[in-house]
Amino acid sequence: MRPDTHDTAARNSGAQASAALEVAVLVSVGRHPVTGRARRADQDARGVELALALSEARVTLLHAGSLDEESESAMRGYLGMGLPALTLVEQPPGADVVPALADTLSDAQPQLVIAGERAEQGEGSGMLPYLLAERLGWPLVSGLAAVEKVENGVATLLQALPRGQRRRLQVRLPAIVSVDAAAAAARQSAFGPARRGEIEVQPAAVEWDEAQAEWSVAPARKRPKRLKIVKAASARDRFKAAAAKAEGAGGQVLTDVTPEQGAEAILKLLKEEGVLR
Amino acid sequence: MSEIIRRDPRKEWIARNRLHPDHLSVLAELGEGSSAATEWMGPNGVVRRNPHAVGFIGPNGIKRIDRSGVQQGGHAATGTAEAKDSRRQVTIDDPAFLVAVVPDLPGGRLSSHDRDLLGLARQLADADGERPGAVLAVIFGSTNGEGFSEAGIDRLIALDGDDFDGYAPEARLAALAAVDGEFSPRHWLLPDSKLGGAELGRRLAARLRERPATGVWQLERDDACALGWRCTARGAAGTTDIQRTLPRIVLALAECAEPVSETRHAVQALALSQSLPPLLGRIDDLGQVAVDPAGVALAEAEFILSAGNGVKEWEGFHQAAKVLGATEGASRVAVDDGYMPRDRQVGATGTWVTARVYVAVGISGAIQHLQGIQSCEKVVAINLDPGCDMIKRADLAVIGDSASILASLVEMVQRLREERRDAA
């Protein structure tokens, strides 16, 4: 979470171990939900932020796609976060980027690969980190909120769970992690560094994604709201279902009990539900 | 012979004549044993009703009709029992294929998302009436099995063990791969949810080298497709709809289908023939981290301790929330009186909460407040007034002084924690 809180001894040993901590962040071209313009994808930008927060890490940005005006502006958005260069693995639209990315990663051998959860364009299935992990044989941790520390080839991670909960995990490197929306928000992209940053184009073999051509894609329709179907036999039940207040199914009521007995019953329920820690 | 309806004109006449001395006994005879027949089969096969026999005479001598069937004694009781058992029992002995479902089971119970998914699985399994498939549920961890039969599960593989506890995606994936190898289900359905289904489904798809459909929310038959189905899935972070043939692995959104409601199914246990090989886990789960409950947004908090007008000792309440690790909520009155900040207000004008456990302390339950806690699973009420609406909503209600109950609850929890610390 806060890399600057390491004591000096840990930092020194960390310097030896993590001087070579290579972090690759996979970034994609996002799409603004309202205007539809290309932008830096929100979750990928959070991933870059996560990498920049790591102490003594060498961060490289990796994008697979084509270089045109729109995607360049999005990539410069990432460069504007304070990185000198971005590697572009050149792939035409409609190509399967997983083989090219897997080849690039197995050549570069980064210790940690950070990716967003899913793309904001195209299929957006969120399969990419899983496919890469399966191909490279690396462990994968999804839904990351923070990287606490990296020591001796083991990373301690904080995973975001639903309902604002967190879980601490340890994973052996090299590993692939995907970033949750609960991770720290990305810093603003600055214009100057974005202009100065270099985009290094790297050619790669192309494999076409053939299945995608058979799909028909349309703007998302609003999903029909589920109707409340009341299967009641009598008119009274139907009326009650439509008009009455919500009632539990006959809860237990404890009257004339001492506070201790009442508290005990509540404690039993809390234990059953597993909300006490 | 027995199918011919024979009429007895004299008895019918008596049944029509309410003033006849034998009227009630004849009615009972025609109604086959019930005290007063309200319905019987007429001579032409038409059902006849006696509206005068409906209802009962109330304490003030006025006739009352209660259609809920609660107060009509024995006859009514059998009626409600029938309503409960009216679901058709379905047993599929020799299924043509299997539809595997891996529910999330948050807290060991089927969530509404899981039920929707099982409804979708039933849709796939029952499409061909001649050769129905069976729904196979693969569950991890311990559960009481409640509601599985009504949710539409035919076969069940329960995998229980320390390996699957906590965050163990690799062990779970290995188990699912073993299930796939042994039973080779035609479809794999997983919830596309943050609770683990989304991750496990994607891992499974990568392992089985299948291209999954993610974010599926609609399904329709199409015989031109390989599996006979076509689906609509959300793509590009929910901004596009993709129409595609249904692949083998499907990650479906909530409300993708109607849950099963009319049938109950045999939850027949299956087991893997071979035990799973030991796995060298590369991910260690160090357990959940204590988060500051006050920092959790009220709308997504899991455990809420909420205060209302009945709370007089606010220090004790805050102390209880701290010890229990609960997020604090409040009713409108408590907020208006300045005891709690506005962003803690629960209800129609405040936050709609989704807690698993909601403890209402001294809240009588205005309709606006009850609306706000509609989606809470368990509601506990502590109140002085046994007749208030919150008690009717609550799963557990304790009538008594809230301050002393909270104080003893705090004491018990602290004692429990100390015992645990001593044991460890």
CATH code assigned at B407:
3.40.50.1220
B81 shares a domain with B107 = no
Residue B357 sits in which domain range? Answer: 294-423
Q: Are residues A114 and A59 located together in one domain of the fold?
A: yes
Mutation test of the interface with chain B: which of A234, A258, A266, A271, choosing the one with the most B Cβ atoms within 10 A? Answer: A266
Residue B208 located in a structural domain = yes
Are A266 and B398 in contact (CB < 8 Å)? Answer: yes
Dist. CA B295–CA B283, nearest whole Å: 28
User: Would you call B412 and A263 a contact, using CB atoms and an 8 Å cutoff?
Assistant: yes
Determine which of A100-109, A247-256, B14-23, B142-151 has the lowest per-residue pLDDT on average. A247-256
Q: Is the pLDDT of residue B358 over 90?
A: yes
What is this structure's pTM?
0.76
Using CA atoms in the order A204, A206, A207, A209, what is the torsion angle rounded to 10 degrees?
Answer: 120
Among B291-300, B362-371, B402-411, which is the least confidently predicted range? Answer: B291-300
The pLDDT of residue B301: 86
Helix (H) or strand (E) holding A236: helix A235-243
ipTM: 0.83
Q: Is B96 part of the contact surface with chain A (CB cutoff 8 Å)?
A: no
Residue A224 lies in a domain: no
The Cα of A164 is separated from the nearest Cα of chain B by a number of Å equal to 6
Average pLDDT over residues A173-201: 90
The string of pLDDT tens digits covering residues A82-98 is 899 999 999 888 888 89
Give the CA count within 13 Å in the CB-facing half-sphere of B361. 29
Q: Is the pLDDT of residue A25 over 90?
A: yes
| Paired strand residues for B422 | none
- pLDDT of B359 over the 90 cut: yes
The confidence band for A235, taking pLDDT boundaries of 50, 70 and 90, is confident
Q: What is the pLDDT of residue A129?
A: 92
Nearest CA in chain A to B194: A162
Residues of B in contact with A211 (CB under 8 A): 211, 244
A-to-B residue pairs, Cβ atoms closer than 8 angstroms: 247
Residues B107 and B241 in one domain: yes
Both structure tokens of B190: 């997983």
Tell me whether B274 touches chain A (CB under 8 Å): no
For residues B102 and B218, state if they share a domain.
yes
Q: Are A129 and A261 members of one domain? A: no
CA distance B336 to chain A (A): 24
First-last CA distance in chain B:
79
Q: Which pLDDT tens digit goes with each residue over B174-231?
A: 889 999 988 889 999 999 988 888 999 999 999 999 899 998 998 888 888 888 888 9
Q: What is the pLDDT at residue B270?
A: 86
Q: Are residues A139 and A260 in the same domain?
A: no
Q: Which domain holds residue A253?
A: 235-273
Range scoring the smallest mean pLDDT among B44-48, B57-61, B398-402: B57-61
Q: Is residue A229 part of a domain?
A: no
Residues B300 and B393 in one domain: yes
Q: Is residue A226, in this structure, part of any structural domain at all?
A: no
pLDDT attached to residue B249: 92
- Sort out which chain A residues have CB atoms less than 8 A from B392's CB and list them: 245, 247-248, 251
Mutate to test the interface with A, among B176, B199, B306, B352 (most CBs of A within 10 A): B199
CB contact under 8 A, A119 and B237: yes
Per-residue pLDDT, B331: 92
Count of domains observed in chain A: 2
B78 and B115 housed in the same domain:
no
Inter-chain touch A248–B243, beta carbons under 8 Å: no
Q: Is B357 on the interface with A (CB under 8 A)?
A: yes
Would you tell me which residues 183-212 of chain A have a C-beta closer than 8 angstroms to some C-beta of chain B? 211
Query: Cβ separation of A123 and B235 shorter than 8 Å?
Result: yes
B318-357, pLDDT tens digit by residue? Answer: 999 988 888 999 999 999 999 999 988 998 888 888 888 9
For residue A197, pLDDT over 70 is answered with yes
Instruction: Single out the residue of A246, A175, A189 nearest to residue A74, CA to CA.
Output: A189
Average pLDDT over residues B239-244: 89
The arithmetic mean of pLDDT across residues B265-288, rounded, is 83
| Distance from the A158 Cα atom to the nearest Cα atom in chain B, whole angstroms | 9
Q: Do B412 and A264 touch (CB under 8 A)?
A: yes
Same domain, B63 and B106: no
A104 three-state secondary structure: helix
Minimal Cβ distance to B405: which of A131, A139, A263: A263
Neighbour count for residue A211 (Cβ, 10 Å): 13
For residues A76 and A154, state if they share a domain: yes
Q: What is the pLDDT of residue A181?
A: 85
pLDDT, tens digit (0-9, with 9 covering 90-100), for A126-180: 899 999 999 998 999 998 988 888 888 889 999 988 877 888 999 988 999 999 8
Residue percentage of chain A with pLDDT more than 70: 90
Q: Is residue A16 located within the same domain as residue A82?
A: yes
